[in-house]
Amino acid sequence: MMEFLSYKPNSNEVDFNRIVALQKKMNDRKAVICPERAEIITKCFIETEGEPIVIRRAKALDEILTNMSIYIEEDSIIFGNQASSNFAAPVFPEYSFNWVINELDEFDKRSGDSFEISKDTKERLKKLQPYWRNITHQDEVLRNLPEINRKAETQNVLHRGGISMSGDGHIIPNHDFVLEIGYGGMKKIAEEKLLHKENLTDEQINYYEAAIITMNAALTYIKRFSKLLKEEAKKSLSEKRANELLHYSEIFSDFMEGGARSFYEAVECVYLTHLLMMIESNGHSFSFGRFDQYVYPFYKKDIESGLITKDKALEIITHFFIMTNSLNKVRPWGHTQYSGGYPLYSNLIVGGMKPDGSEGTNDLSYMCLEAMNMSKLPEPNLSVRFCKETPRDLLKDSAKLIRQGFGMPSVFCDEVVIPAMMTLDLNIETARDYASMGCVETAIPGKWGHRATGMTYINFGKILEIILNNGVDPASKIQLFNITGKDGDEIEYTSYDELWSAWEKALKFYFELAIECDNVCDNALKYHDADAFASSTINCCLERGKTLKEGGSEYDYISQSNIGPSVIGDSLAAIKKLVFEDKKLSFKELMNALKNNFSDERGAEIQKMCRNVPKFGNDEDYVDYIVADVFESYLALLPNYYTTRKGKGPIGCRYTMSTSNITSYVPNGFDVGATPDGRNAGLPLNEGASPCIGADKNGPTAVIHSVSKLPNQKIAGGQLLNMRFAPDALKGEENLEKFTSFIESAREYNIFHNQFNIVDGAALRAAKENPEEHNDIMVRVAGYCALFTTLMPEAQDAIIGRTEHSF
């Protein structure tokens, strides 16, 4: 029997057996490559040559939804599939395709995120390659990327990631709007706009025609399921299941032609909207926003009318949660290392203030925690908002769920996040309506354009290594600038201020290159990611007749991914203390040790000295404020830079900061030599705003005190803190109360966000050695969760190496 939180459903109301069966099916899933979508879109693009791209993409979506395989999961009451089988990943050749062909024989040999692929699938995909040669999104990016950017990538300072080879994703639809009028209502808005073509540009006309095509396509897809449900009912050996399928078949016969009519329809619509956006484009971080707020009116109405019980509502939510794990995405191996564990980053958040300032916790807030407790799977990426008025019971249920050891929920503090959002010139009512998106990014549901974060990745650790070598990258020998005015790596800093000035110079130099990369990718995505369906779910797009990349959204704020600020702070503190203040080392001695990776006897002595300098995460002002300076040095650059949508409609069009960097801190560390904090070459950098691996020695309160000194109320893109506790530290009621109070203390200590792993090192090491015996261990990887055994070994080691705290 399941261990419940505070809500205990009646076993006569909820079919636990099929929840367990469906959960096991997802837990035992095998990732597969599916060629169907790639074949259909190729055929459609050939037939629509010369037509506007937004029309071509809309017609392609129509063909895909009309002709792709559909199926019913045997135990589920939520319907809709992305590809031909459970956890199969479709291929999106229009964004990038050469890597798919190049890696066909490697998918099933990967050390993490492996995919089964049949010989037939390989041959079917190979036949498509000639058409896509030199016409993909990635091809356009590479044609327009400046040579200096390519060199910065060769230095391993910049990494383009998904923005140059996939769709954009990273949005939260206006679910209130979609649930109110349905796909049919959105289609009607576009049709009404076209009644006045004389007032529209050609681009607007194309957008509205595409919106009509995509909404019709969605309705066609739904009606296909109505027919299939009826056919499956006839085959069912269970009269109860047959009647259930016939009931859902009737619902699907006219579902979403108008607004949602019941709680079940609201939840199914949320799932389908998410699914359809993922079929339209292979971006990730399509997120669910404040689920307990926008679905609550449907729940309240159905409860009051007696149409459903609380237990039935919980069952529907649990099935919805489980089915999100049937979806998948395949990435190139080079990108997979930055995001291991098959993540989709589909964040769903509950709790927190409403726009009017009242506290929003309701029955569904608790049910979502219980649904995650029953499903215990990586998706959706569950988060909880809290503030002073949040019921302690919600925080206690969150603590109960966290201590079970699968990494959810993560928690966001309204008193910190709302002021951070208001730095973007939002009024307080709008800021209060924030939601988590992707990992720990923050956005306003239905109002934000693509990409609150996840633009170009900037390797802070590599920038430090370069400035210590006068602008020369020791690995590639490339020098794009120098500090001394002379070429070559010879340099000797004579003061900390001189070193800090070099950091600021180099950071600005690479930041501007990253901006150029962002612009190149955005300009290409404006064409290749013309997503009429997804765009229509965001405020102002249907009003303006523009996709998101054209400037359709109400607001437009983005951020890059900054990797390794704690490593930089710890390293600068070591240089400042050992070289300039205590004068225990000369700069040359330190550099010799770094170049030799602390390998000789003197190097080992220097490494010990470096490791003994105060480290971030231990409540040491000396180093904590240097780490804060690193954050401020990046924040200071942002006000003068804009996105390509500036002047085209959205409010803002500016940059903010985020420390959400998924697993990139591991492969970025591969590229960085030994650092002055005592870290050896090739080891991971730090994750988000967390201390460096193993550096936090003074307990969890000291970590919180260190992070509290950072400019968290300026970081509107999302601030990530990851902590690990020993399972025994949270056992029993007394420890649960302590842990709940610890979570709640974030309000007093300026903590934007926190997330937790509650699993001991022995269990993780056993899972690494014998994965087939431990395939159900889920861990908090970065801003998301994944099954531990799906991760590459280096990412597993990084998680094992995190400090294990106790109270």
Reported as a single tens digit per residue, the pLDDT across 486-508 is 999 999 999 999 999 999 999 99
Q: Can you give the pLDDT at residue 508?
A: 98
Separation of first and last alpha carbons in the chain: 30
Using CA atoms, how far apart are residues 284 and 291, in angstroms rounded to an integer? 18
Residues with Cβ within 8 Å of residue 314, at least 6 apart in sequence: 7, 9, 14, 367, 370, 371
Assigned domain for 670 exists = yes
- Please state, in angstroms and rounded to a whole number, the distance separating the CA atoms of residues 383 and 348: 6
Domain that holds residue 676: 459-646+655-711
Closest CA to 32 of 282, 283, 329: 329
How many domains are there within the chain? 1
Is the per-residue pLDDT at 174 higher than 80?
A: yes
pLDDT score of 1 more than 70: no
Residue-level pLDDT at 243? 97
Token pair listed for 272: 């389908």
Residues in Cβ contact with 701 at an 8 Å cutoff, skipping those fewer than 6 apart: 619, 742
CA distance 398 to 350: 11
Residue 440 included in any domain: no
Cβ-contact 783, 439 below 8 angstroms: yes
**pLDDT of res. 75:** 93
Quote the pLDDT of residue 512: 98
Averaged over 106-117, what is the pLDDT?
Answer: 95
pLDDT at 791 > cutoff 90? no
How much of the chain exceeds pLDDT 70, in percent? 100
Pairing relationship of beta strands 778-780 and 785-787 according to DSSP bridges = antiparallel
Amino acid at 471: G
Q: Which residues contact 800 (CB under 8 A, 6 or more apart)?
A: 761, 764, 765, 768
| 597: CB partners within 8 A, 6+ apart | 603, 673, 674, 680, 681
More reliable by pLDDT, 67 or 407: 67
Q: Is residue 427 part of a domain?
A: no
395 within some domain: no
On the question of pLDDT at 45 being above 60, the answer is: yes
pLDDT attached to residue 316: 98
In a domain, 603, yes or no: yes
Find the mean pLDDT for residues 547-562: 96
Res 29 pLDDT > 90:
no
Q: Is residue 732 predicted with pLDDT exceeding 60?
A: yes
Specify whether the CB–CB gap between 634 and 710 falls below 8 A: no
Q: Give the residue, 56 or 6, on which the prediction is more confident.
A: 56
How would residue 785 be classed by pLDDT, with cut points 50, 70 and 90? confident
Q: Identify which of 73, 89, 83 has the alpha carbon closest to the alpha carbon of residue 31.
A: 89
Question: What DSSP string describes 239-264?
Answer: HHHHHHHHHHHHHHTSTTSSS--SHH
pLDDT in tens, 364-408: 999 999 999 999 999 999 999 999 999 999 999 999 999 998 889
When pLDDT is averaged across residues 558-578 and rounded to a whole number, the result is: 96
- How far is residue 745 from each of residues 100, 616, 708, measured CA to CA in Å? 47, 20, 11
| Residue 481 token pair | 């600038």
Percentage of the chain modeled with pLDDT above 90: 88
Average pLDDT over residues 592-610: 97
Cβ-based neighbour number of residue 131 at 10 Å: 13
Does 320 score more than 90 pLDDT?
yes
Length of the chain: 807
Whether the link from the prior residue into 409 is cis, omega within 30° of 0, is yes
Given a contact cutoff of 8 angstroms between Cβ atoms, the answer to whether 113 and 662 are in contact is no
Confidence of residue 291 (pLDDT cuts 50, 70, 90): very high
Q: Which amino acid is at 768?
A: K
- Confidence (pLDDT) at 753: 96
Is residue 637 assigned to a domain? yes
What pTM, to 2 d.p., does this model score? 0.96
Q: pLDDT value at position 410?
A: 96
* Region 642-648 average pLDDT: 96
Say how many C-beta atoms besides its own lie within 10 A of residue 479's C-beta: 17
Write out pLDDT tens, residues 297-319.
999 999 999 999 999 999 999 99
Angle of helix 202-235 versus helix 175-194 axis, rounded to 10: 130
- How confident is the prediction for the chain on average, in pLDDT? 95
615 in any annotated domain = yes
Local confidence band at 27 (pLDDT 50, 70, 90 cut-offs): confident
More confident residue, 51 or 407: 51
Residue 83 belongs to a domain: no
pLDDT digits (tens, 9 = 90+) for 185-228: 999 999 999 999 999 999 999 999 999 999 999 999 999 999 99
Band (pLDDT 50/70/90 cuts) for residue 261 is: very high
Beta strands per DSSP E along 71-125: 88-90
Report residue 113 as tokens: 């995120």
The confidence score (pLDDT) of residue 495 equals 97
Query: Is the per-residue pLDDT at 799 higher than 90?
Result: no
